[in-house]
Amino acid sequence: MDSDRTNELVAAAKEGDHRAFEELVRQTYADTYTLAYRLVGDEEDARDVVQETYLRAHKGLKKFRGDAQLSTWLHRITANCANTFLGRRGRHRHDELSDDFELADDVPDRDPVFQADLGDLRSNLVAALTELPPKLRTVVVLRDIYDLSHDAIATELDISESAAKVRLHRARKRLRESLYPMGEEQAHAV
């Protein structure tokens, strides 16, 4: 997205131009939805998070100073909305991942054994990620999927850089323990 055009749209939206805001939504929706989906792990829930993200963004747009990129600001809102959503969901219901979970990123290799192993690994990883508390899951997604630095994660989540590092360490440790109980990772490394 062209930053000059984005700045023009933001300025127009701040002035109440609903079409400018709609255009911002169109331009950022795919990234916002992808982040929401990775944080909550369910398509319908991700759509709810995205809707809440854009509601909050619309309400708070006049406060957006432009110190950060619009995408960074939306990532932060999305992460906060996802955490709020997961906190509510955790208190009210427990969803199980279905066995027919379809992966968005298929490997084009034709080796069926490789694909089966990869599918199992991804399913196990998704399940392990879902079991993490929202604060830990968010840090893992932002670091390991979006490749944000510790400093950027700290800024996005409004925490210290050391807190981001500690959360990431704890999250990775829990994932490792969940995926490879009692030292099984050494057997897989061979």
Rounded distance, CA 163 to CA 157, Å?
Answer: 10
| Stretch among 17-26, 75-84, 118-127 having the lowest mean pLDDT | 118-127
Taking residue 135's Cβ as centre, other Cβ atoms within 10 Å add up to 17
Q: Taking residues 123-139, what's their average pLDDT?
A: 88
Rounded distance, CA 101 to CA 189, Å?
Answer: 26
Note whether 1-95 and 109-190 share their fold. no
Rounded distance, CA 153 to CA 28, Å?
Answer: 19
Q: Taking residues 103-120, what's their average pLDDT?
A: 58
Q: Which of 39, 35, 32, 38 is nearest to 58 (CA)?
A: 32
User: In CATH, what number does 109-190 get?
Assistant: 1.10.10.10
Domain 1-95, classified CATH 3.40.50.800, yes or no: no
Predicted confidence band of residue 68 (pLDDT cuts 50, 70, 90): confident
Running DSSP on this structure, what letter comes out for residue 103? Answer: P
- Write the CB contacts of 153 (distance below 8 Å, at least 6 apart in sequence): 139, 142, 143, 159, 161, 164, 168
pLDDT of residue 111: 60
pTM above 0.75, yes or no: no
Domain locations in the chain as residue ranges: 1-95, 109-190
User: To the nearest whole number, what is the mean pLDDT of the chain?
Assistant: 82
Predicted confidence band of residue 154 (pLDDT cuts 50, 70, 90): very high
Give the pLDDT confidence of 163-172 residue by residue, as tens digits. Answer: 999 999 999 9
